[in-house]
Amino acid sequence: MTPLFTAALSIVLAIALILAAWRMVRGPSFVDRFIALDMLTAVAVSFAALTTVATGSSVFLDIGLGVALIAFVATAAFAVFIERKGRKP
User: What pLDDT digit, counting tens, does each position of 44-63 carry?
Assistant: 999 999 999 999 989 999 99
In terms of residue numbers, what domain contains 8?
3-86
Task: State how many domains the chain has.
Answer: 1
The predicted structure's pLDDT at residue 13: 95
Alpha carbons 83 and 2: distance in angstroms, whole number: 46
Strand, helix or coil for residue 57: coil
Average pLDDT value for residue range 62-80: 93
pLDDT at 82 over 80: yes
Quote the DSSP letter at residue 87. -
Task: Give percent of the chain with pLDDT exceeding 90.
Answer: 71
Helix axes 3-26, 30-55, angle to 10 degrees: 170
- CATH code: domain of residue 49: 1.10.287
Alpha carbons 8 and 70: distance in angstroms, whole number: 28
The predicted structure's pLDDT at residue 89: 61
Residues in the chain: 89
